[in-house]
Amino acid sequence: MYQIYPRSFHDSNGDGIGDLNGIRQQLGYLSWLGIDALWLSPIFPSPMRDFGYDVANYVEIDPVFGTLRDFDDLISEAHDLGIRVLLDWIPNHTSSDHSWFVDARSSRESERRDWYVWRDAKPDGSLPNNWIRAWSDESVWTWDHETEQYYLHCFLPSQPDLNWENVEVRTALHETLRFWLDRGVDGFRMDVVHLIGKELDADDPEELRALSHTPLNDVAVTHEYLREIRAVIDDYPGDRVSVGEVYLFDPERVSAYYGHQDELHLCFNFSSLFTGWRAEAWLALILRTESAMSAAQAWPTWVMSNHDNARVATRLGGDQARVRAALVLLLTLRGTPFLYAGEELGLQDALIDPDQAVDPGGRDGCRAPLPWTTGSDHGWPVEPWLPFAADAAARSVEAQQSDECSTLRFAKRLLELRHQSVALRRGELLAAHTQGDLLVFERVVDAQRTRVVVNFSKDNLAFNVVDGAIVLSSALDAQPGVIRAGEALVIALARA
């Protein structure tokens, strides 16, 4: 799965913001690279205070991205190339500009008042609970002066939370899924979907409040709502998929959101974004993920970068050897890999001057525009909405497509290998262990057995392959008898 942040992908109409026709124009590139599916970050009408994660209409396209017609063309051209398309669905909150909220806010008697979460102040005048909203140390409650009640928003005050207890809300949200499923989308990434059920009377523990409420919310009723959502998706033919952003950091808790094959098909596993580049730390993460997912009969996912966190290349200090090794982990561990646009280029975050910053959550750096060409405009018709990363020329698609030894060409080879290998796609993960700074695991299915070895140290280490043949090395200057600093090897083994 390849994540596109549409504003930053490719600009077809010269307004400095990427758009749907820009994505269409690059389908050839994506097909060449060898990805199977696209997930588009939000493209719906929005005041863009959270760049589309504040939806003002769930069943239209924001004019900055194009039209419904452009969207239909994108889907049909992607499908012709064998590429599936997932949308980003934002069920927890809308924009305060959404007509539902405008109506809800207009009076306590309004028809849609109960579509959002309203509370009186407590008798002593204090807030309804102690939850903290995202990206701040402020409350999730904002006082509405007109109607004299608080409304709930786990993110910005301009992102009011919907009231999922209200069956009309659930039905209306289901309708939005059907709208896009009818148009042929292959599924949805579901934004903070673990947050839709809430226990408003339960205060957060004092010592954890600084995290904000979002990663702490984990209540039983959400699972009922997820089963209803799954039933909507299962009504459709073909393999439609739901991928939940379950923003909890404990794989055991995350695994519960798969239900018994009746909730989410897949959930993100974000711990990898915060795991240091050490063999022991990765082994612990892999073993913990495997054990939690196997116990729940759930299929894992892996992610190294996304639009909310520093890119993996930045976390690894721009060291391309390690970036290639991280790509090997992403694409050989057991589970569905999510590749964030630009990760195949080994692209780093842009440095953002304070006067260029636009995101309320400070995430502009990892959202910098994709560099297509080496020239100073990097293939963008006008200056884009955010600055380019400092390494944009060297990391551009143009520079790397023509360089046999580039990270991009390596990513393409790795994707080819994964497509050819049942063991890498579906095999069990076995024999995971470390040997000093080497992380080793095997992927095994019937007649195929593949070993992956990653050197996490800064040194070249003596290493001999005695029981198989190297099918891929991430090092540009691989040598027999040595595994180089940062090198990752994929080895085909004789069946034991």
Interface residues toward ligand NOJ, by CB under 6 A: 50, 53, 90, 155, 191-192, 245, 307-308, 361
Min dist. Cβ of residue 96 to ligand NOJ (A): 13
Q: Give the integer Cα–Cα distance in Å for 206 and 171.
A: 36
Cβ proximity to ligand NOJ, 93 vs 324, nearer residue: 93
Cβ proximity to ligand NOJ, 50 vs 349, nearer residue: 50
Min dist. Cβ of residue 291 to ligand NOJ (A): 27
Cβ proximity to ligand NOJ, 156 vs 325, nearer residue: 156
Tokens for 301?
Answer: 């996912």
Min dist. Cβ of residue 307 to ligand NOJ (A): 6
Min dist. Cβ of residue 204 to ligand NOJ (A): 18
Min dist. Cβ of residue 328 to ligand NOJ (A): 26
Would residue 245 show up in a list of annotated catalytic residues for this protein? yes
Annotated catalytic residue, options 50, 62, 191, 359: 191
Among residues 93, 83, 95, 87, the alpha carbon closest in space to that of 61 is found at 87
Min dist. Cβ of residue 268 to ligand NOJ (A): 10
Residue whose token pair is 């809300």: 169
Cβ proximity to ligand NOJ, 50 vs 62, nearer residue: 50
Min dist. Cβ of residue 456 to ligand NOJ (A): 29
Annotated catalytic residue, options 50, 54, 161, 245: 245
| CB-closest chain residue to ligand NOJ | 53
Q: Catalytic positions, please? A: 191, 245
